[in-house]
Amino acid sequence: MRLVSDLFDPEPVRWGLRGDPWVWRAMSEYVNGLVLPPSVGEVERLLKATFDRVVAVDLATETAPWVYREEFAHGSGMSSGNVHLETWRAELLPTLVDRARSQLSG
């Protein structure tokens, strides 16, 4: 049985801002135990909804390039707690969708 949380392993080597890895892990925990939906479109909708729920931001409508979230501020550094929405739109969510596509076609 394929699980949505399997898509999150391994973690990317590059992030946009310091809050991004914490969002990645929070999303993985949020979908833990969910069976991978049968279509790529359904997976993509689920991942976007999960991001919206975890970060409290709608990627489709938010125009800011990044947002600050206290719950993702771990450690020091200028970007601690900042989530780079552009990276999530352009790289991180597409990576997860690509992984789902591979799982569903293989």
CB-CB neighbours of 81 under 10 Å: 19
Q: What pLDDT score was predicted for residue 99?
A: 98
Average pLDDT over residues 90-101: 98
Average pLDDT over residues 80-92: 95
Phi and psi dihedrals of 34, rounded to 5? -80, 135
CA 13 to CA 44: how far, in whole Å?
Answer: 21
Q: What pLDDT score was predicted for residue 78?
A: 66
The whole domain housing 45 covers 4-105
**Hey, what amino acid is at 102?**
S
Average pLDDT over residues 38-61: 97
Instruction: Count up the domains in the chain and report the number.
Output: 1
Q: What pLDDT score was predicted for residue 80?
A: 81
Average pLDDT over residues 44-61: 97
| pTM of the entire predicted model | 0.94
